[in-house]
Amino acid sequence: MTTPLTYSYSPKALVTSHERLRDKEKELLERASSDAMSTSNNPTTTNTIIVAATQITGAGLPDSDVAGYSFRAEQAIEMAAAEGANLVLLPELWSGPYFCQSQDAACLQLADTVDVSHTLLGRMQLLAKLYNVVLPVSIFERKNNAFYNSVVMIDADGTVLGTYRKSHIPDGTGYQEKFYFTPGDTGFKVFDTKVGKVGVAICWDQWYPEAARCMALQGADVILYPTAIGSEPQDPTLNSADHWQRVMQGHAGANMVPVVASNRFGTEILLRDDGTEQQRITFYGRSFITDNTGAKVAECADNTETEPVQLITAEIDREANRRERAAWGLFRDRRPELYKVLLTKDGGNLGD
């Protein structure tokens, strides 16, 4: 078996690298803004969504480096646009390693507010405008004393359409997100973009059929899941990659809405302050796109691939899908009044 390339980081060094990049981005943003304004196209509404799912790894970057992640993300967006994509999905928390492997308060300094001072968002707005693509941007968001795992939806003209905050927060060995993130308060959202109605949820949300159904009910033409999923540190023999895909394929088939998942890949090694290894996760890769029946129409390689940036694309005819969905009768025959048990935690009667 091929051993995947690795990336190592320590929380304190990661924060230093993040702050250094943030300062550099502030200097570059003004200069890049004029370039984007002079070369950008006027985005037009289209019936065809050409969606790109991307995979990015930190493998091969210097320890605790985050600038390399941003470079690779920009490379992925450029590659996707060159292939005609007008909607590009990056993985969950793509701007650095998945820092939730352990509980370390230093990593809370990686969070930023969603405002004009957010340099990463500013950069993504310019890229959306430059390449005429819709960009859902996964970020670690801070709002006063709350911290969220969020996606900011940027339209193809650079306009920020709003924010979705991750609703379901996992807590397990290697995925200790409850230490970092407050459960989201936005509800499930669908954004009216230049390419159609785009629903987006985040990673652990993808295991819940209720989330996909909520987005479908709001008219989503496509449902996106930026993701960070891989091995389980407590049991390296566990591999949920096939299960992970099948769950989302079921969402697509049950709602007759295409689904897109973008995962990171490669092995990320968490270091202690003394440089010794504390823990590692090998992310699966295998990002994929389905059609509106749940069939996979494109899939990236697994975690043995050594190219640091990968992508796949697929075309979605949103009007044809809307007609087929309406004719099938799935939503016509729903009986919401019978589903009240979904409002309970344990399947009991409301009020018990």
Interatomic CA distance for residues 106 and 84, integer angstroms: 40
Q: Where are the domains of the chain?
A: 6-343
pLDDT of residue 116: 75
**Would the pLDDT of 32 be above 50?**
yes
The lowest-confidence range among 19-28, 132-141, 237-246 is 19-28
Phi, psi (deg, nearest 5) at residue 284:
-70, -35
Contact (Cβ atoms closer than 8 angstroms) between residue 202 and residue 189: no
pLDDT of residue 118: 82
**Would the pLDDT of 268 be above 70?**
yes
Check 100, 107, 141, 203 and give the catalytic one: 203
Q: Is the pTM above the cut of 0.85?
A: yes
The better pLDDT of the pair 245, 36 is held by 245
pLDDT of residue 100: 98
Instruction: Indicate the average pLDDT of the chain.
Output: 92
Mean pLDDT for 311-319 is 97
Mean pLDDT for 271-298 is 96
pLDDT of residue 1: 44
- Letter for the amino acid at 318? R
pLDDT of residue 278: 96
Work out the end-to-end distance of the chain between its first and last CA atoms, rounded to an integer number of angstroms.
53
The better pLDDT of the pair 305, 207 is held by 207
Mean pLDDT for 206-235 is 97
**Would the pLDDT of 59 be above 60?**
yes
Q: Which CATH architecture has domain 6-343?
A: 4-Layer Sandwich (3.60)
**Would the pLDDT of 174 be above 80?**
yes
Task: Using pLDDT thresholds of 50, 70 and 90, give the confidence band for residue 24.
Answer: confident
**Would the pLDDT of 47 be above 90?**
no
Task: Using pLDDT thresholds of 50, 70 and 90, give the confidence band for residue 239.
Answer: very high
Mean pLDDT for 83-87 is 98
- 166 is annotated as an active-site residue: yes
Mean pLDDT for 303-321 is 92
Mean pLDDT for 231-249 is 95
Mean pLDDT for 279-288 is 96
Task: Using pLDDT thresholds of 50, 70 and 90, give the confidence band for residue 25.
Answer: confident
pLDDT of residue 30: 62
Tens digits of residue pLDDT in 88-120: 999 999 999 999 999 999 999 999 999 877 889
Task: Using pLDDT thresholds of 50, 70 and 90, give the confidence band for residue 281.
Answer: very high
pLDDT of residue 45: 64
Check 107, 129, 166, 268 and give the catalytic one: 166
